Amino acid sequence: MTNFNNQDSRDVPSTDIPSTSVPAQNIDTQNRLAQQRNYETVQRDREDSNAFGGLLLGMLLTALVGLGVAAYYFLNQRPSTTNIITPANPVASPSPQVKERIIERDRIVPVPQQSSAPAPNVNVTIPNPIAPPAPVAQPAPAQRVQEPAPAPVAPAPAGQ
C-alpha cells in the first residue's frame, strides 16, 4: 500500500495514550489509525514474503529444469567406440636405402599446320520469291457538280 506520510509503516510510534486527557472520540480515531498502520505493516510484510517466496520458487524450478536437461544429456551419451586393430605380424618398413627418383618427361605433340591453299570461292545465289501482284488501286471516278444557273435579272425601267 502507499504510505502518504512519507514514513515507513514499520516505524510506528507508540500508541500509549493517557485515558484522562483525551475524549472518547479521539481515542476511536487513534485506534482506527493504529489499526490501519498495523494492517499496512502486516500487508507489507506479506508482500515482501510473497516476493521472496516467488523468487525462491523460480530459482528452484530453474535449477530442477537445468538438472533434468543435464541428466538427459549425460545419460544419453554413447561412449565412442574406437576399434584399434593391431596386426599380428608387423610389416617391415621400407629400407632406408631406397631413394625416390623423379623422372620428368616432355612429350612433343605435333600441331597440324593449315595449308597455304587459297580458300575456295563459293557463290551461292538465292532466288527471290515471286510475290503475287498487288491489287492496283483505281482512282475514284470524277464527279461533276453542277452549279445552279444565275437567276435572270429584270431590266430596269427606262424612264426613271
Residue 44 · residue 1 · CB < 8 Å: yes
In a domain, 72, yes or no: yes
Model pLDDT for residues 95-138, shown as the tens digit of each residue: 566 677 777 777 777 777 766 667 778 888 888 777 666 666 66
In a domain, 38, yes or no: yes
In a domain, 25, yes or no: yes
112, three cell numbers: 597440324
- Domain range enclosing 51: 16-78
Phi, psi angle pair for 153, to nearest 5°? -100, 135
In a domain, 46, yes or no: yes
In a domain, 89, yes or no: no
Number of domains in the chain: 1
pTM confidence score: 0.29
In a domain, 148, yes or no: no
Which candidate, 26, 27, 33, places its Cα nearest to that of 12? 33
Phi, psi angle pair for 113, to nearest 5°? -95, 145
Model pLDDT for residues 42-56, shown as the tens digit of each residue: 999 999 889 899 999
